[in-house]
Amino acid sequence: MWTPLLRSIHGMKTLWVLFGCVASVLWIQLANAADLGLKVSDKEPPKELGDAIRQTLQTRAVQVLNGEKPAFEFWFAKEIPLKSKPASLAKALDSLEPTRLLGAVSVSSATRDYRDDELPVGVYTMRFALQPQDGDHSGSTDYIYFAVLVPAKLDSAPDALTTYKAVVKASAKGTSNEHPHVMSLRPGSSEGGDQPQIKEPAPEHKSVLLKLPAKAGDEKTNLTFELVCEGHIKK
């Protein structure tokens, strides 16, 4: 008479062990999913930026949160001038002029940029650039679009840096390998909405889907793209 009862108890123990394992896996998945959060707050651009730069930026910050603390705080341009209206979502970034000021970012704790180089704490401007097509970078990234980060003290006005060489030189100043600090840009995975969204565009990558006000000639439009805030270049 005890055999069925013992089997029943053993079965219940097994069920609880399995339930505990499933619960643990679920908790880990939820914790990993919550690693990066997003918050938009009314906040003036940093005073480390030159006045001419600050005047072109929105007075709201897009904060990428690691736990409860901002890993990055972004201030984007009030209106981004374009060469032409974006032909499609996939080709939206082709409408940008190289070296165009996209915005600014505050890095609150030392981290790594998209090249996996150390990115020190500080405030940086963000300028659009295309990866050089010289054969040295072939296959290292899915897209050739980047935001080059320039220390605020080296970039005082929207038209202060007008060539790729000048942007790279300013960004690389003080680095040990003479490479600029960069964040990868990607075409938007969807049209986006009024609020930024966290996306996972590739394995081990997280991005922020953005829809920013823009202008092509006299026509107002939007520029939609993704800014990669977690993940590194292929090496």
- The model's pLDDT over 132-171, given as tens digits with 9 standing for 90+, comes to 865 554 555 789 999 999 999 999 999 999 999 999 999 9
**Percent of the chain whose predicted confidence (pLDDT) is above 90:** 70
Spatial separation of the C-alpha atoms in residues 92 and 82, rounded to whole Å: 10
pLDDT at 193: 84
β-strands 118-119, 69-76: how paired? unpaired
pLDDT at 209: 97
The overall average pLDDT reported for the chain is: 85
Residue 114 backbone zone (phi > 0: left; psi -120 to 50: alpha; other: beta): alpha
Sequence-distant (≥ 6) Cβ neighbours of residue 94 within 8 angstroms: 86, 87
pLDDT at 140: 59
pLDDT at 136: 54
pLDDT at 6: 37
Residue 39 has pLDDT above 80, yes or no: yes
- The model's pLDDT over 166-219, given as tens digits with 9 standing for 90+, comes to 999 999 996 777 889 999 999 999 988 889 999 999 999 999 999 999 999 999
pLDDT at 36: 84
**Percent of the chain whose predicted confidence (pLDDT) is above 70:** 81
Spatial separation of the C-alpha atoms in residues 200 and 190, rounded to whole Å: 12
Most confident of the following: 5-14, 37-46, 132-141: 37-46
What is the token pair recorded at 23?
């619960």
